[in-house]
Chains A and B, each alone.
Chain A
Amino acid sequence: MSFLRRRKPTSTPSSPNSDHNNDDSDIDNDKEKKTIREEKRKNTNTRWSCLDNCWWFVGGVCTVWWFLLFLYNAMPRSIPQYVTEVIAGPMPDPPGIKLAKEGLKANHPVVFVPGIVTCGLELWEGESCADGLFRKRLWGGTFGELYKRPLCWVKHMSLDNETGLDPPGMRIRPVSGLVAADYFAPGFFVWAVLIANLARIGYEEKNMYMASYDWRLSFQNTEVRDQTLRRMKSNIELMVATNGGKKVVVIPHSMGTLYFLHFMKWVEAPAPMGGGGGSDWCAKHIKAVMNIGGPFLGVPKTLAGLFSMEAKDIAIVKAFAPHVLESDVFHFQTLQHLMRMTRTWDSTMSMIPKGGETIWGGLDWSPEGHYECNTKQHKNNHKPSVKNMNYGRLISFGKEVATLHSSKLERLDFKGTLKDKKHVNASICDVWTEYHEMGIENVEAIAKYKAYTADSILDLLYFVAPKMMKRGDAHFSHGIADDLDDPKYNHYKYWSNPLATTLPNATDMEIYSMYGVGIPTERAYVYKVNSDSKCNIPFKIDTLADGGKDDSCLQGGVYSTDGDETVPVLSSGFMFAKGWRGKTRFNPSGIRTYIREYDHSPPANLLEGRGTQSGAHVDILGNFALIEDIIRVAAGATCEDLGGERVYSDIFKWSEKINLKL
């Protein structure tokens, strides 16, 4: 402190207190010495204050951290639970423990079929940029490599644009075993909770099987490249044989439901194209198929994903790490890179809405009619909404277009427009997406067509991404079969479309559709032309389009309806409510179908994590009620034992409105 005070006189040249010259000079002298010393001291002091303090701080933080960590590790495991119970009241027993107390035992072997993106992928062969990643997860886990070498990552995760298989010199393969999809990322469970609860009543690896597959490939290609379907068949047969002939309970989730539809057709089809299991394979080996959140008729989100890479959920990644995809990991053009990558994944096309206008509604009608988005909250003072939503227009350009009656719409056909190659700018747009081959005229032509229904959207996709759709067309179909006996429906491209196949001949089998309801789910979009620059994707969702108070279903350019946040109720429920109910032409042997809906309620407090009553697409795998249902069925119950159907949504009412020949 003293030298600070000393400094002051130096700034004031003549101090009033000094009378002698002698004194003055002395003080000056003194001053000089002092300043030298001050500087010395200051130097040491600054060193302390900067680097040392820094180290001191780091050391302090580290030590405290380690100490806390040590305490945490030393703490008995029951304390967090105890704290939770004090705050939130006693927790219910996990279903596994509860049912173990009831005396339930492992009975039927269980097969899990994971959905898109939830299953891990690992590297088996790569280019030099992926050195040292052999058998490390590229997808799933911590996604560390995405940050470290993003371009390398994208390159390896992409498939060949022509064949939809591995690019030369790269082999990415699904992880196998239960670890493939128990946790998607550390702490983000997918199947882990269900597995843990099943283990409580005696399940272990000999009677649980994770049918992991490469979810990027088209379903038939998983068999061509990895023989995945045949592995699944062989493993199911093995489990039935080693568990005393008890049939399996299959639990597909999300896209896995379509994959398993494909499997059921494949396994009974004759050998070169199919598995050659004979027409009674399913009847002999499957007790029940318990679909969880199955997008049987497709997901509107896929459209937004394929069209402009904007759906909130083309990758679940986006849901829990929103910054991953939006940040500039790839130096600009993140979305373009992602679009290029995802467009090489054939499997995404399995989820384009199926059934066209018959199912999803036309320009002026939709099965959901006047669904009110916040019914749940307004149930008490319920007023029937007057307004009709045009859910049928899956994509409209501009908010007015979305609400206008079809007779007032002026639509120009885009299909005749020639593609203009002049606008391809190779130097700037190093990211290849098919949009660069389109040119401005075409972009405008698309916008002028104004409204797209589930039918015309296919034409749109053919127009904007011809190569992708050509691959997709060879593996998936999106129509409704007129005559299911037509031999053309023996082709594998129809196997995953419930509207173009029949269910297997297995009268004892049960099919469940279990899904969450009560969460607004994307159903239709309001788009605008993106005029930013040439290298960008030319369309984007018009996030300004908002319905306001009277039209709460429109928010940020997205019309939403009831569902599980990803799949609308219509898609997961219709086949069960009507398409397969009783003996129909899609279900000739009359397999019993059941709908089990789970009303979403968000976690009560932070300690509950992702909640035990969630209805969201992935979180529902931790829903206690759903887990209990699954365990009961796995232990031998039939749906009557569960108390039959459980419906909260208007799925039966909406299904009535759909005129499908049955």
Chain B
Amino acid sequence: MSSVRRRRGSEAQSKEIQAEENNKEEEEEEKEHGEDDNDKNKKKKKMKDEKSKEKQEKKRKWSCIDSCCWFVGCICTVWWLMLFLYKLMPASLPQYVTEAITGPLPDPPGVKLKKEGLTAKHPVVFVPGIVTGGLELWEGHQCAEGLFRKRLWGGTFGEVYKRPSCWAEHMSLDNETGLDPPGIRVRPVSGLVAADYFAPGYFVWAVLIANLAHIGYEEKSMYMAAYDWRISFQNTEVRDRALSRIKSNIELMVATNGGNKAVILPHSMGVLYFLHFMKWVEAPAPMGGGGGSDWCSKYIKAVVNIGGPFLGVPKAIAGLFSAEARDIAVARALAPGFLDNDLFRLQTLQHVMRMTRTWDSTMSMIPRGGETIWGGLDWSPEEGYTPSERKQNSNNTQLTGQETNKTNVNYGRMISFGRDVAEAPSTEIEMTDFRGAIKGHSVANTSCRDVWTEYHDMGVEGVRAVAEHKVYTASSIIDLLQFVAPKMMARGSAHFSYGIADNLDDPKYQHYKYWSNPLETKLPNAPDMEIFSMYGVGLPTERAYIYKLSPYAECYIPFEIDTTAEGPDEDSCLKGGVYTVDGDETVPVLSTGFMCAKGWRGKTRFNPFGIKTYIREYEHSPPANFLEGRGTQSGAHVDIMGNFALIEDVIRVAAGAKGEDLRGDQVYSDIFKWSEKIKLRL
């Protein structure tokens, strides 16, 4: 034994010094054996040396990759374990926890109303809005290989990250025709899956569908009228026969549900789409659907509009003008980092702008009715609105005196260049007309050509002329857009119109471009039909903008919102260059409510047959805690689809209730007061 030890010792002797530090832990033991012979100590020491040497070697091996692997393995294992536990957990546990924290949850409306004995009666048609419907690829270029029938829009948006420029190329439409570019076919997803969830976990219609299913609805009595929301309304019929499909499916559902008329639920832009549909279906055959003048009264019980931008959305202007509105795509709301980062290697906004400008449908939401509706240079229907007004009302003290001190916000000036311009009285503003300005072609820089936006054709003079006009109202904004984006507006004006009709019987109003404008069409002859406008209130909503010239290089969009323009105090309507007003975060109350509050109320020239209209407002209250997700009392534009009160109203209507059964109007905002101020011949 000892011989072995000795031999080893001789080898190790030279490395004694290295090993010294490792011996510290063993020193105590050595002291105990102080009486022992030296050579024995030495032997021991040598032993330790060997050991420590090995230890060191081991440690060195175990260094980088190993600990990395160890770490990853650790995390993976723990993750799997948790996942396993999560899967094992009974499904009711999260609910139980939530209830323990927040108190018992209310029954979902579907369950509650089922207990009341409601059952499925009228077939239901969903008309999704812009951006919420999924789009899938049917034919593409080389770069989109393997994506056949995969979602380009909706779902995980994985392809945006993987091949962004390919994605933008396929999502764009032809700039001349507004239809498919050659070799590319992107088509709407059909069926309820088209818009039940926009992205995994982000519901759109799913909550409503689930609640309707509780009282007995299923696919034979529910229909998702999915359409390609990028193209103009009439083009969905030309290309995809989408309107014919809706007509045929409504007829089928009414026939198979014992003749019970359909309840239509359009959301957001779907509201305008369905206005278009109602005119189309009764129009004679080559341009329309040839359903006869009583089609709507035969097949539709009620149109329950949810957050409908009847008179347009100011956001659409900012979107078209500088791709800056916070909500031209809901995508931005859920992935704020997504559009702002440099996914496309610089010029993200330009790429997005180029893409969205080929989408005709965005132009359906440019504010309609001009100064009559949205206000002129010195007045607006909402003037005097303060965001905190309603909160103050509840504990109403002597605040009325304060109101007079408030500066009036000139909401009518939808775009002003500079904050002082926005607040100055109109007499002091020197406006120069931009329409005559010559576009300077010389400045167009060819290096920018890979990202084409029409701004490059404008040149510096054009840009300056636009800025010098200083203030734009809802009327002059159309001229502005025609100036900065003539090609887009040429397509748009073939499909949409933004004016007010003087004489609705003029035969020119039979053209389809007027069908989606409530101010230029009559409602159908269906006195039994009911029109609801349901929307959220209590959220600041973009209404007017302060712009400035963009100081950057030529390749940038030459205008941007002046985010430094802030109001005088916290309660102010002006924040970050944006004037806000009451609404559902996207659509101002004026747009959603005016037609139902005044334009169509009773028998007017827009509603010659006296269809009953109802306004149902839902006051926004944010989710009480994190566990509630997007909340059951939300009033936000899309989240309102999960609002229990709204769902309950919808289910009641679907089960047969009329507007009176819901106790008529439910109004929190000043929509009636504001509507009074609008001088529209009825």
Query: CB < 8 Å: which of A37, A135, A205, A231 contacts B252?
Result: A231
With the chains together, A199 CA to B136 CA distance in Å?
13
Contact between A59 and B50, CB atoms less than 8 A apart: no
Residues of A within 8 Å of B213, CB to CB, are 124-125, 134-135
- Report the minimum CB–CB distance from A180 to chain B (whole Å): 9
With the chains together, A63 CA to B73 CA distance in Å?
9
A1-45 interface bits toward B, Cβ cutoff 8 Å, 1 = contact, 0 = none: 111011011000001010000000010011001100100010000
- Report the minimum CB–CB distance from A64 to chain B (whole Å): 9
Residues of B within 8 Å of A30, CB to CB, are 40, 44
For A226, the closest partner residue in chain B by CB is: B220
With the chains together, A62 CA to B71 CA distance in Å?
11
Q: Tell me whether B441 is interfacial, beta carbon within 8 Å.
A: no
Residues of B within 8 Å of A171, CB to CB, are 218
For B221, the closest partner residue in chain A by CB is: A227
With the chains together, A54 CA to B4 CA distance in Å?
35
For B194, the closest partner residue in chain A by CB is: A177
Contact between A2 and B8, CB atoms less than 8 A apart: yes
- Chain B 1-40 interface residues, beta-carbon cutoff 8 Å to A: 1-4, 8, 26, 29, 33, 36-37, 40
Residues of B within 8 Å of A176, CB to CB, are 191-192, 219
Q: Tell me whether B138 is interfacial, beta carbon within 8 Å.
A: yes
Contact between A77 and B145, CB atoms less than 8 A apart: yes
Query: CB < 8 Å: which of A56, A135, A196 contacts B73?
Result: A56
Among A1, A59, A135, A234, chain B packs the most CB atoms within 10 A around the CB of A59
Contact between B218 and A56, CB atoms less than 8 A apart: no
Q: Tell me whether B340 is interfacial, beta carbon within 8 Å.
A: no
Contact between A234 and B185, CB atoms less than 8 A apart: no
Residues of B within 8 Å of A237, CB to CB, are 248
- Chain B 183-211 interface residues, beta-carbon cutoff 8 Å to A: 185, 187, 190-193, 196, 209-210
Residues of A within 8 Å of B141, CB to CB, are none
Contact between B1 and A17, CB atoms less than 8 A apart: yes
Contact between A29 and B33, CB atoms less than 8 A apart: yes
Q: Tell me whether B104 is interfacial, beta carbon within 8 Å.
A: no
With the chains together, A205 CA to B190 CA distance in Å?
8
Segment at the A interface, from B238-246, B327-335, B654-662, B668-676: B238-246
- Report the minimum CB–CB distance from B673 to chain A (whole Å): 43
With the chains together, A15 CA to B3 CA distance in Å?
12
A604-617 interface bits toward B, Cβ cutoff 8 Å, 1 = contact, 0 = none: 00000000000000
- Report the minimum CB–CB distance from A201 to chain B (whole Å): 10
Residues of A within 8 Å of B240, CB to CB, are 204-206
Query: CB < 8 Å: which of A2, A125, A178 contacts B51?
Result: A2
Q: Tell me whether B69 is interfacial, beta carbon within 8 Å.
A: yes
Residues of B within 8 Å of A238, CB to CB, are 244-245, 248
Q: Tell me whether B66 is interfacial, beta carbon within 8 Å.
A: yes
For A125, the closest partner residue in chain B by CB is: B213
With the chains together, A60 CA to B191 CA distance in Å?
44
With the chains together, A9 CA to B2 CA distance in Å?
10
With the chains together, A601 CA to B556 CA distance in Å?
61
Q: Tell me whether B625 is interfacial, beta carbon within 8 Å.
A: no
Contact between A206 and B251, CB atoms less than 8 A apart: no
The interface residues of chain A, by DSSP majority, are classed as helix
Residues of A within 8 Å of B33, CB to CB, are 29
Query: CB < 8 Å: which of B72, B146, B248 contacts A77?
Result: B146
Residues of A within 8 Å of B36, CB to CB, are 26
B144-163 interface bits toward A, Cβ cutoff 8 Å, 1 = contact, 0 = none: 01101100000000000000
Query: CB < 8 Å: which of A17, A41, A58, A132 contacts B77?
Result: A58
With the chains together, A21 CA to B622 CA distance in Å?
87
Contact between A62 and B76, CB atoms less than 8 A apart: yes
With the chains together, A197 CA to B36 CA distance in Å?
91
Q: Tell me whether B70 is interfacial, beta carbon within 8 Å.
A: yes
Q: Contacts A2-B51, A173-B219, A242-B244 hold; do A55 and B255 have CB atoms under 8 A apart? A: no
Residues of A within 8 Å of B251, CB to CB, are 234
Q: Tell me whether A399 is interfacial, beta carbon within 8 Å.
A: no
With the chains together, A176 CA to B248 CA distance in Å?
16
- Chain A 38-80 interface residues, beta-carbon cutoff 8 Å to B: 41, 52, 54-60, 62-63, 77-78
With the chains together, A83 CA to B93 CA distance in Å?
50
Q: Contacts A17-B1, A242-B244 hold; do A33 and B29 have CB atoms under 8 A apart? A: yes
Q: Tell me whether A641 is interfacial, beta carbon within 8 Å.
A: no
Q: Tell me whether B431 is interfacial, beta carbon within 8 Å.
A: no
- Chain B 547-595 interface residues, beta-carbon cutoff 8 Å to A: none
Residues of A within 8 Å of B241, CB to CB, are 206, 242
Residues of A within 8 Å of B245, CB to CB, are 206, 238, 242
For B95, the closest partner residue in chain A by CB is: A131
Q: Tell me whether B680 is interfacial, beta carbon within 8 Å.
A: no
Contact between A177 and B190, CB atoms less than 8 A apart: yes
Query: CB < 8 Å: which of B44, B76, B256 contacts A227?
Result: B256
Residues of A within 8 Å of B248, CB to CB, are 234-235, 237-238
Q: Tell me whether A467 is interfacial, beta carbon within 8 Å.
A: no
Contact between A2 and B252, CB atoms less than 8 A apart: no
Q: Tell me whether A419 is interfacial, beta carbon within 8 Å.
A: no
Residues of A within 8 Å of B209, CB to CB, are 135
Contact between A59 and B1, CB atoms less than 8 A apart: no
For A237, the closest partner residue in chain B by CB is: B248
With the chains together, A421 CA to B239 CA distance in Å?
67
Contact between B29 and A131, CB atoms less than 8 A apart: no
Q: Tell me whether A642 is interfacial, beta carbon within 8 Å.
A: no
Residues of B within 8 Å of A241, CB to CB, are 244
Contact between B4 and A59, CB atoms less than 8 A apart: no
Residues of A within 8 Å of B1, CB to CB, are 8-9, 15, 17
- Report the minimum CB–CB distance from A606 to chain B (whole Å): 20
Q: Tell me whether B83 is interfacial, beta carbon within 8 Å.
A: no
Q: Tell me whether B68 is interfacial, beta carbon within 8 Å.
A: yes
> Mind listing 30 A-B residue pairs with CB under 8 Å?
A3-B51, A17-B1, A26-B36, A29-B33, A30-B40, A30-B44, A55-B70, A56-B73, A57-B69, A58-B72, A58-B77, A60-B69, A63-B68, A63-B69, A77-B145, A77-B146, A124-B219, A131-B92, A135-B210, A179-B191, A179-B193, A199-B138, A200-B139, A205-B187, A230-B256, A234-B248, A238-B244, A238-B248, A242-B244, A242-B245
Counting from the closest, the 8 A-B pairs by CB-CB distance are A59-B73, A55-B73, A59-B72, A59-B69, A58-B73, A177-B191, A227-B256, A242-B241
Known contacts A1-B54, A3-B51, A135-B196; 20 further A-B pairs (Cβ under 8 A): A2-B8, A2-B51, A58-B77, A59-B73, A60-B69, A63-B69, A124-B219, A131-B91, A134-B213, A135-B192, A135-B210, A177-B193, A178-B190, A200-B139, A205-B187, A205-B190, A205-B240, A238-B244, A242-B241, A242-B244
